Structure 1
Amino acid sequence: MKNLIRYKPYKTNTNDGKIAERQVKTTELPINSQGENGTVYVGYIEVTKKCVAVKVINELDEYENALKVSEKIQEMLPRKNRTHIIEMIDAGLRLGVRDSIQQGIFVLELGTLSFAEMVYGASLTYQNDDELGRMARHIAIPMAEFHQVAMHLDVKPENFVLTKREIERRNFLLLKENISEDVFKIVDFNGAQLVKSVSTKTDIWSIGVIMLELLLLHRFYSENNSFQKSEKSEITKQLSEVVDLYRGFSLKKIINSKEFEKNSPVEYFSNKIWLLKYYESIGFILQFWKEFPKMAILITNLLSPNRNFRMTANGILEFIAGRCVPAEIKNAQNMQQFPIFNRVLFGEFLQILKEWQNELAQNSADDEQIEKRKEVNRQKREKLTKMANIVTKRQNKVHKELVKCRNLCETGI
């Protein structure tokens, strides 16, 4: 490793109470694309003979906030209660750079690869609710630990990493064996806020979005040769359109800003134009309701427009384990009273499709092109209706099982 980063630690590290300079070697090239949240390198500490991750942050206020959160986690959570949060080894201000530049440094436990690298690098598909539920559990466990102290506010696949830990087990012959197991850990506390009066439900929404991304990848690898790699940009585009349906409006980026603003609202009940605009996304949603009926209930809850309805991270874990049911499902008489996206219930969605059928059945047009378009729209409506009816029939069976559970999933309200 050729680069040497010198830094002043954030707390005293000598017997006389003074702060002595420290240094860490790093690779020349970062392991992430340099972005808003800093640049990460693989590093090596001579004293401990350990490989680490070294994060360089250009914004001092972001560094100070992340340091505050990291310290609070170490202060409030015993080591055994934060096994799914990347450990901060050290932090400080970088030395040896121009006076006009101030950079914060974090020395962190090194992960093997990010969750994003794993899901985009492996052709992952899921056979049933249990398999998809295990993936959701991997995401929820770190968040449950983190939410004891803070909101993350930037939950995405890139901010989870896989590490290896050695677990001692005994087999039936009472012989000890070390089993190396992948463990998901959450990283990157830039922008995180200590929990006070604010809500962790923003993070819960983001978990729902990650689940949609996993399902889009599932669809891609189910329909394509497993050796063909997905294009992240295309998946991101599809994901944005699907999320619009849950959010109730699209977003556009403000010029020369990191922020977004509301763009076009989805007019669910005023006209049928949105059915054509989001036809592919609606079909995708109905398909995963058909394939993964239990996980579809979870995802719809996490993406509820009413944050009070969203489960906590612990609620997610309890639901996956079959120990609770969301209140909106418990209180529903049948599947038609389930939300499908935003505030639209399945029964309302079926009614919208019926109204669309009536509109398309009105007087035929003399214009041949218009009539052809109407015929294409009729076929699309029929396909959505057929899928929705299949989902309704299957989900009613799932509903009968779920309502047997007496416990409501934790929402923190």
Structure 2
Amino acid sequence: MEQNNKKSAILISVGDELLIGQTINSNAAWLGEKLLAFGIEVVEMITVGDNKSHMLRVLHESHQRAELVIVTGGLGPTRDDLTALVLGEYFQKNMVFNEEVFSWIKAFKMAQKKPVNELHRKQAYLPEDFIYFRNLAGTAPAMVYRDNGTIFVSLPGVPYEMKSLMNEYVFPWINKKISRKIFLTKTLHTAAVPESEIASILSDFEDNLADGLSLAYLPSLARVKIRINSRAVTEEEAKAALTKAESKIRELLGDMIYGENEDSLEGVVGRLLMEKKQFLGTAESCTGGYIAQMITSVPGASQYFNGSVVAYSNEVKMDLLGVKKTTLINHGAVSEETVVEMVKGICRRLKVENAIAVSGIAGPQGGSPEKPIGMVCLAVGNVENQVVDTVYLNHNRKLNIEKSAFLALNMLRLFLQRP
């Protein structure tokens, strides 16, 4: 295995469609994640259009800095597919007809019962002295070349073709060529606490992290992911450091953490309900069934979820959930008093041990000085005990619905975790 002073990777994504937003660059995200797990850190992701001079410049800059350069896109048979030509020009290689690659293309088209045309023949004109890997999912092969301590990999831009080639050929090949450290990660999920507050709690811990450890904060709607990164020479060292760091973070954050890695909040709530052998029902007004949709997105939800009532009107709140008319007159539909009665009503109606109820003003119209747009009342519990809260969100209807649903599910999680 060769040693190299360059210890990083650069990803180059080729295509005008990426620059104009017509296509989302999912390839770069997938490669970044997989390379990190492989022990290779991606230091830069570059998107470049179908322009020869721009592509040559980006190749030259990446050549000076990275041990591994992966180029995706631009290997098709049309005139705007320039990657093979540009790589040939950059490395001063002749474009030659590759009989083996052409036989792969013919076999692929034959399996599809489709003819080979001149454009497919053009795809077989490739830079000499490269290594080629067969693409079983398409016509463009993977191309590999090594120069001055840098490995260049060129892959088709179609995501499933790229992933197949990386897993089948490229990762095993570069594993023999690149010296890499062990890199392990663990992601912890927190709910309903701002990033700044979490960072403040972890500040002293983060200041004293051991060598090879680092934290990353990834905030999104009503939640923050905390990624723990552990680098070491051996897997045992990396795992030990990761476990120790995770234990301390869990101690500091407590029940702010609801899960790890691939966990979802709705999945965690489902597991808690199954552990208790209890059922859940939801009574939703402003969220319009969104909470029920989240719950039922988890396979096996029928083991703990009985159903939902979308009580959008006051009549439905009264007729199906038993909300008192006096409660609605005195406090309004958007009130803590109303959602408490909704919790009790849905528990009785669906014969469940646990319930979520939500009523609010999702916006962008309908608010008042006393009850502004974005005001949402949340309640969880059962007939005997309820926990209630009021949150004030913003004027974005879609975000208000999504955030209300997430916060309500988190309230139920905390309710179920009580001793």
| Category of TM-score, reference length = shorter chain | under 0.3
Q: Which protein is bigger by CA-based radius of gyration?
A: 2
Q: Which has the higher contact order (CA 8 A, sep 6+)?
A: 1
TM-score (norm 2): 0.22
TM-score, normalised via structure 1 length: 0.23
Greater percentage in strand = 2
